[in-house]
Amino acid sequence: MKQRKTEVLIVGAGPAGLAAALELKRLGLTDLLVLERDPVAGGMPRFCHHTGFGILDRHRLMTGPGYAAAWVADAKRQQVELLTQTTVIDWTGPLTCLATGPEGLQEIEARAVLLATGCRERPRAARLVAGSRSQGIFTTGSLQDFVHHLNCRVGKRAVIVGAEKVSLSALMTLAKARCRAVAMVTSFPRHQFYGIYRPAKIALADLLHRAPVKVNSAVHQILGHERVEAVEIKNLLTGDCTSTPCDTVVFTGDWIPDYELARSGGVPMDAGTLGPAVDRRLRTRKAGVFAAGNLLRGAETADVAAKEGILVARSIQTFLNHHDADFPCVPIVPDAAVRWVSPNLASPEDALMPCGKVRFSVKDFYRPARVRIEQADQVLFEQRLRACVPNTSYAISDHWMTKVNFAAGPVRFSVVQ
C-alpha cells in the first residue's frame, strides 16, 4: 500500500474544501492534498443547473456548474494537488486516513485533516413514508442528475415533498424535464420560501401557481406497482386523506450531514446539527480534525460553505503554528424550539481571529422572534428578529462569546415569540 505524508489533508472538493485549499495556499502552505470521491471536483453545485450561486463570495450571479467550475479553475491555477475518484474510506491513525481509488489504496498521514464532505437529503425510507417501492421516487439530488446529466424524461405528474428553498430547485428541474408538478406538500402551516432573491421569485411565479402548496399536510402513503400511481396526502389537522394521482414523487430538503467519515473517526457529534460539534474556528473535539461546509449542519448556500472554507483555513494555519487543539469550551445547547446552532461549542475569544457568525435554525414559525443566549443566570445576548422560518437559517453575531464563562456550564440558546 502506498503511504504518504502531508501537512493538511482535505476530504471533499466542494466549495468548502476548495475554498479552504485556496486560502491555505494563499497563507503560504504548500504541502496540502485534496481528495474527492467523484470523477469531477466541484461538489454539489455541479448538479444544480439553475442560477443562484456566488452572490456572497464571487459577487455575481452564477449557475451551479459555472460556480463549481470557477472554484476548480482557481484550484488548478494555484496548483492545489487534487485527486478525484479517490474516496477516503477509513482512519488508520488519529490523523491518518485510508483512501481508495483506481490507483489502489493509500494511507495518508496528515498534521491536520479537514472534513468537508457535504450533506444529502433524507430519502423516502428515512422519512418512514409507507406504501409501495415503485419506480418514480426521487430526491432533488437524484432528480437533478437524471434531468441534467442524463437528459432523461422522469415522469409526467409530480408531487414535491417539501416547500422550502431546495423544493424550488426540484420544481425548476421538473419543468426542465417537462414533468408537471401538481402539488408541494409541507407539514408546516406555510411554505418556507422566504429570502430567495426577487428575480427568481418572479421567474418561479407561474410554476408555483400550478403547483399549489398543501400546508399542514404530509405524504401518508405511496401507491403503485411498477411505477408510482398516486400518493395519499394526509391533512395533519383533520386526519383526512386524499389521493392525488401522480407518477413521480420528489423528496426535497430534510438535510442530513454526510457525517460517516467524521463519526467513524470518533469525532464527537452535535445532537442538533447531526454534524461534528465545532467551535467558532471550526475545530472539532478531535485534535487536528476540522470541519466546514454542509457537513456542519446540512445545506446552506454554497457561498456560506465557501466562506467557512476560508475561515477554517485560517484556523488550521493557527493550529499548525500553535497546536491549540486542546481548547477549553462549553457546549451551546439549543432549547426545544431550536433545531440546531452552529458552531455549537463556545471557546474563548482568540485575538487572531476575525469575528464570525453563529447560525441557527428553528423548528417552527416565530414572528417576531426573540433570540436569547444565556449561561447560568446571565443573559449573554438578546436580539429581536422580524421572523424566524423553519428550514431556513439565521446568522447572528458571535461577539457575545467573549462573555462566556468556561467554568459555568453549557450555554443555552433559545428562540421565543
Partner 1 sequence: MTNLKPPMKPFDVAIIGAGVVGCAIARQLSRYTLQCVLIDSEPDLGMGTSKASTAIWHTGFDAKPGTLEARLLTRSYHLLEDYVPQAGIAYERSGAVLVAWNEDQFNALPGLLAKAHENGVRDVHLLSVDQVYELEPRLNAGALGGLMVPGESIICTYGLPLAMATEAAANGVALQFGFPVKSVASGEGAVQLLSGPAGSLACRYVINAAGLYSDEIDRLYGYTRFTVTPRRGELIVFDKFARPLVNHVLLPIPTGKTKGVLVSPTVYGNVMLGPTAEDLKDKTQKGTSNEGLDFLWKKGEAILSPLMKEEVTATYAGLRAATEHSDYQIFPSAEQRYICVGGIRSTGISASLGIAEYVQGLLEEMGVALQPKAEYQSVRLPPLGEAQTRPYRSESAIAADPDFGRIVCHCERVTAGEIKNALNSAIPATTLDGLRRRTRCMQGRCQGFHCHADVSKMLADHLGVKPASLIGYKE
Ligand X SMILES: Cc1cc2nc3c(=O)[nH]c(=O)nc-3n(C[C@H](O)[C@H](O)[C@H](O)COP(=O)(O)OP(=O)(O)OC[C@H]3O[C@@H](n4cnc5c(N)ncnc54)[C@H](O)[C@@H]3O)c2cc1C
Chain residues binding partner 1 by CB under 8 A are 1, 37, 85, 87, 89, 100-105, 120-126, 128, 130-136, 138-139, 141-142, 145-146, 149-150, 152-155, 220-223, 225-227, 256, 260, 263
Does the protein bind ligand X through residue 302 (CB under 6 A)?
Answer: yes
Complex with partner 1: residue 253 or 356, whichever CB lies closer: 253
Provide, rounded to whole angstroms, the least separation between the CB of residue 200 and ligand X: 8
Q: Is 361 exposed, middle or buried (0-12, 13-18, 19+ CB in 10 A)?
A: buried
User: Helical H runs in 323-362?
Assistant: none
Provide, rounded to whole angstroms, the least separation between the CB of residue 333 and ligand X: 24
Does the protein bind ligand X through residue 166 (CB under 6 A)?
Answer: yes
Q: CB under 5 to 8 A by kind: which of partner 1, ligand X, none does 66 bind?
A: none
Provide, rounded to whole angstroms, the least separation between the CB of residue 218 and partner 1: 10
Position among 6, 87, 135, 414 found at the interface with ligand X (CB under 6 A):
87
Instruction: Choose one: 150-158, 292-300, 334-342, 408-416; the region binding ligand X (CB under 6 A).
Output: 292-300
Complex with ligand X: residue 186 or 294, whichever CB lies closer: 294
Position among 230, 261, 310, 338 found at the interface with ligand X (CB under 6 A):
261
Provide, rounded to whole angstroms, the least separation between the CB of residue 113 and partner 1: 19
Instruction: Choose one: 39-47, 129-137, 318-326, 335-343; the region binding ligand X (CB under 6 A).
Output: 39-47
Binding flags for ligand X, 99-138, as an x/- string (CB under 6 A): -----------------xxx--------------------
Position among 9, 14, 274, 298 found at the interface with ligand X (CB under 6 A):
14
Beta bridge partners of 384: 370
Place of cell 475554498: 19
C-alpha–C-alpha distance, residues 218 and 236, integer Å = 7
C-alpha–C-alpha distance, residues 190 and 156, integer Å = 26
C-alpha–C-alpha distance, residues 131 and 118, integer Å = 30
C-alpha–C-alpha distance, residues 122 and 190, integer Å = 21
Q: CB under 5 to 8 A by kind: which of partner 1, ligand X, none does 65 bind?
A: none
3-state secondary structure of 212: coil
b or e along 129-143 (b: 16 or more beta carbons within 10 Å of the residue's beta carbon)?
A: bebeebebbbbbbbb
Place of cell 504548500: 30
Residue type, 386: R
Number of residues that bind ligand X (CB under 6 A): 37
Q: CB under 5 to 8 A by kind: which of ligand X, partner 1, none does 145 bind?
A: partner 1
3-state secondary structure of 187: coil
328 contact partners, CB below 8 Å, separation of at least 6: 347, 348, 406
Does the protein bind ligand X through residue 20 (CB under 6 A)?
Answer: no
Count other Cβ atoms within 10 Å, centred on residue 409: 12
Instruction: Choose one: 29-37, 240-248, 314-322, 374-382; the region binding ligand X (CB under 6 A).
Output: 29-37
Tell me the three cell numbers of residue 401: 462569546
CB 415 within 8 A of CB 366: yes
Closest listed residue to residue 342, CA positions, set 378, 375, 314, 304? 304
Does the protein bind ligand X through residue 38 (CB under 6 A)?
Answer: yes
Does the protein bind ligand X through residue 17 (CB under 6 A)?
Answer: yes
Binding flags for ligand X, 209-248, as an x/- string (CB under 6 A): ----------------------------------------
Position among 136, 162, 293, 298 found at the interface with ligand X (CB under 6 A):
293
Beta bridge partners of 375: 378, 411
C-alpha–C-alpha distance, residues 90 and 361, integer Å = 31
Beta bridge partners of 93: 96
Q: CB under 5 to 8 A by kind: which of ligand X, partner 1, none does 100 bind?
A: partner 1
Position among 53, 193, 319, 413 found at the interface with ligand X (CB under 6 A):
53
Tell me the three cell numbers of residue 272: 442538533
Provide, rounded to whole angstroms, the least separation between the CB of residue 116 and ligand X: 5
C-alpha–C-alpha distance, residues 108 and 97, integer Å = 5
Q: CB under 5 to 8 A by kind: which of partner 1, ligand X, none does 303 bind?
A: ligand X
Closest listed residue to residue 127, CA positions, set 295, 251, 234? 251
3-state secondary structure of 243: strand
C-alpha–C-alpha distance, residues 161 and 139, integer Å = 9
Does the protein bind ligand X through residue 160 (CB under 6 A)?
Answer: no
* Cα–Cα–Cα angle for 331, 90, 289, rounded to 5 degrees: 35
Residues that bind ligand X (CB under 6 A): 11-17, 35-38, 43-45, 48, 52-53, 87-88, 116-118, 140-141, 144, 166, 169, 258, 261, 293-294, 299-303, 305
